[in-house]
Amino acid sequence: MSDDARTDGGTTVKNTTALRERYDALKGEESTVAVVSIIGLLAFPWLFIEAPVVSGFLKGYESLASLILIWAIFAIGFDLLLGYTGLLSFGHAAFWGTAAYASANVSAYLTGSPLVMVLLGTVIAVGLAWLLGYLTLRRGGIYFSILTLAFAQMMFYMSSSVLATYPGSKTPLTNGENGFTGVSLDPLLGMFELNREMPSILGEFVGTWHYGFIAVFTFLAIVIAYRILNSPYGLVFKAIRENEQRTEFVGLNVWRYKLMSFIISGTFAGVAGSLFTIHSQYVPLSSLYWTSSGEVVIMTVLGGAGSLFGPIFGAAVYLWVENIVSGMPNIGAFWHLILGLVFVVVIVLVPDGIWGLPDAVRRAWGYISNLGGDR
Amino acid sequence: MPLLELDDVVKEFGGLVATDHVSLDVNEGEHLSIIGPNGAGKSTLINLVTRMLDVTDGDIRFKGDSIVALEPHEVVQRGIGKSFQTASIFPELTVEENAEIAALAAEHGEFRFNFLKHLRDYTEVSDLAHRTLDAVGLLEKVDRRAADLPYGDKRRLEISIALASEPDLLLMDEPTAGMSPEETQSTVDLIEELKEELGLTIVLVEHDMEIVFSVSDRIAVLNRGEIIAEGTPDEVQGDPDVQEAYLGGVEL
């Protein structure tokens, strides 16, 4: 290698570093995150359903796009607890399911206004998260995980039996194993039928009010989660994850911050659960079952625990395999196995999840090109 | 009134008596070292003050108030900071963030509900963090990941975390353990600096006699959970009980 070539190589590296720094600084801005989220949420249905080539492979449909966003909200909130605070809850189905039942009950007996359903469903989930957090966060590590699982399962069994109807009457509360069927929706703000297309270009490319309604909440979830991570809470959550004892010994009340982390993630689960009722107009008993808790753990880890956008991709991949791959000829029946393999491959090769993939590739590439350069 | 008073403190682990009716006062601005052979109860004493352990009997008062029923973070909020024996840092976070966590606690208390205020609006937190990082000489490395620092720097970071919680009394549990001679020297210089510039009251638990005799105003010697001698470095050095129990009769 000649000297000239070396100098050239050096300058290129320098330029890329400066560019990278500018890119990183821009990437960290809240407004960037907001704009990227809006563009992503607007483009997602088109990419998923109509775009040439891509959609031919993805075979998406609007209802699945909405479902992905709902689970993404759930997973973003869960990631605040798992990826940032370092607490593994196996009982988040309790908040998802309770909010789903609560908003279903609101729609059946009170009002079908989607906004009120989400509001009341979330409020109930927050109250429950406060209670369960208060009871389970006394213990750390595996005991915390088991306690959350135990409480969630307790709620599942109660919902399948004693809470199937309101106490002392025949009015369905959870309607037991049949699931809650009496959901009735009013138009959004009294004007917009959720299953109608949005006007003009929005309807053309994005779709119905239903998707728009859910996308707005997804946008809020991303922006609020990002703000929480940029507030002292983000710092304290990471501190607890890294070294809980030290966090206590600098004078921070670890217990209250952990409880807040739990409640915040319960809030996100509550919003998502309420939206799920609006989405499916039916609440199955399985929404309280431990598999729902497990699904959100898998989505979060698959997408990348400890990143803001990772869980969204985790939710997308999980639900895509569950709904699209399962319908493919020949391999469809093996979708559980496929999902398991994808999960194992991601965890082994890219421990940071799908979101960590570009970084992992860059590291691997740097390693390979260094090997060449040294010779 | 002494800043910290230990009053007949007893700590038993099952049948083992770790500290046996220890009474000790620490005065404001003073630099007290606690020495003693392994298992003498030095670290136990520190852990009792920081509330990592519960006292079996006796009372510990700080600024005149009993602290034996408080949570560890409340003790820190009252003004007792601790630097750990092993570098207890936040490895995946940057050096700056490490100090900011403690500065946040010092400036805004044990808990704040507002989870939507951006961290960049807390300028006093990052100012305090930068001041303490400057004091330990880590200001040039604010953006480094704490886990990537060399060991001596990790210990300095550990001390800067303890400083950023703005203590009136700093408990240091073997701050030079595992350091190279150069790193030890710079840590000793740092301790001297803290003493002179910040007027901090320091309680030091240390094995290294050279350090103890060079930086202490007063020394307490602990053996089998009891204080067997207490006084200025010269007094302690000449005490025959100390030489017998701790130094095995060897002349210093």
Question: Would the pLDDT of A6 be above 50?
Answer: no
How large is the average pLDDT for residues A277-299?
Answer: 90
For chain A, the C-alpha Rg in angstroms (whole number) is: 23
Out of B91, B111, B125, the one facing A256 most closely (by C-beta) is: B111
**Chain A residues touching residue B106 (CB < 8 angstroms):** 251
pLDDT band at A373 (very low <50, low <70, confident <90, very high): low
Residue B152 lies in a domain: no
Question: Would the pLDDT of A87 be above 70?
Answer: yes
Across the interface, whether the CB atoms of B82 and A257 are under 8 A apart is answered no
pLDDT of residue A14: 56
pLDDT of residue A2: 40
**Chain A residues touching residue B90 (CB < 8 angstroms):** 238-239, 242-243, 246
A248 close contact with B: CB closer than 8 A:
yes
| Average pLDDT along chain B, 252 residues, taken 10 residues at a time | 88 86 88 85 89 90 90 92 87 92 88 83 88 87 90 86 89 83 82 79 84 86 86 82 64 46
Out of B114, B116, B165, the one facing A250 most closely (by C-beta) is: B165
B117 close contact with A: CB closer than 8 A:
yes
pLDDT band at A9 (very low <50, low <70, confident <90, very high): very low
pLDDT band at A224 (very low <50, low <70, confident <90, very high): very high
Q: Which domain holds residue B242?
A: 1-79+209-252
B99 close contact with A: CB closer than 8 A:
no
A332 close contact with B: CB closer than 8 A:
no
pTM greater than 0.90: no
How large is the average pLDDT for residues A142-165?
Answer: 89
Count of CA atoms in the C-beta half-sphere (13 A) of A234 = 18
pLDDT of residue B246: 63
Question: Would the pLDDT of A46 be above 50?
Answer: yes
pLDDT of residue A325: 81
Q: What is the pLDDT of residues A18-31, one digit of tens each?
A: 777 777 777 778 88
Q: What is the pLDDT of residues A49-73, one digit of tens each?
A: 777 777 777 787 778 889 999 999 9
**Chain A residues touching residue B122 (CB < 8 angstroms):** 232
pLDDT of residue A268: 96
- What is the tally of structural domains in chain B? 1
pLDDT of residue A10: 47
Closest CA of chain B from A82, distance in Å: 16
pLDDT of residue A102: 93
B77 close contact with A: CB closer than 8 A:
yes
pLDDT of residue A163: 80
pLDDT of residue B41: 85
B114 close contact with A: CB closer than 8 A:
yes
pLDDT of residue A175: 83
Residue B69 lies in a domain: yes
pLDDT of residue A327: 79
pLDDT of residue A372: 58
What residue in A sits closest to B76 (Cα-Cα)? A251
Count of CA atoms in the C-beta half-sphere (13 A) of A246 = 29
Closest CA of chain A from B22, distance in Å: 24
Out of B77, B90, B119, the one facing A230 most closely (by C-beta) is: B119
* A residues 218-247 closer than 8 Å to B (CB): 224, 227-228, 230-236, 238-239, 242-243, 245-247
How large is the average pLDDT for residues A168-177?
Answer: 79
**Chain B residues touching residue A252 (CB < 8 angstroms):** 73, 101, 104-105, 110-111
Out of B50, B92, B122, the one facing A232 most closely (by C-beta) is: B122
Across the interface, whether the CB atoms of B93 and A242 are under 8 A apart is answered yes
**Which comes out higher in pLDDT, residue A235 or B116?**
A235
Across the interface, whether the CB atoms of A252 and B73 are under 8 A apart is answered yes
- The Cα A89–Cα A131 span in angstroms is 14
Q: Which residues pair with B203 in a beta bridge?
A: B32, B171
Q: What is the pLDDT of residues B12-65, one digit of tens each?
A: 888 888 888 888 889 888 889 998 887 788 888 899 999 988 889 889 999 989
Across the interface, whether the CB atoms of B73 and A245 are under 8 A apart is answered no
pLDDT band at A12 (very low <50, low <70, confident <90, very high): low
How large is the average pLDDT for residues A145-149?
Answer: 93
pLDDT band at A227 (very low <50, low <70, confident <90, very high): very high
pLDDT band at A79 (very low <50, low <70, confident <90, very high): very high
How large is the average pLDDT for residues A346-368?
Answer: 85
**Which comes out higher in pLDDT, residue A201 or A130?**
A130
Q: Report the top-level CATH class of A43-310.
A: mainly alpha
Q: What is the pLDDT of residues A186-214, one digit of tens each?
A: 777 767 777 777 777 776 777 788 888 99
Q: What is the pLDDT of residues A252-267, one digit of tens each?
A: 999 999 999 999 999 9
B76 close contact with A: CB closer than 8 A:
yes
pLDDT band at A121 (very low <50, low <70, confident <90, very high): very high
Q: What is the pLDDT of residues A315-337, one digit of tens each?
A: 999 999 888 888 788 888 888 89
CATH number of the domain encompassing residue B34: 3.40.50.300
**Chain A residues touching residue B88 (CB < 8 angstroms):** 243, 245-246, 249
Domain coordinates of chain A in residue numbers? 43-310
Residue B28 lies in a domain: yes
Across the interface, whether the CB atoms of B102 and A227 are under 8 A apart is answered no
Mean of all residue pLDDT scores within chain A: 85
pLDDT of residue A4: 43
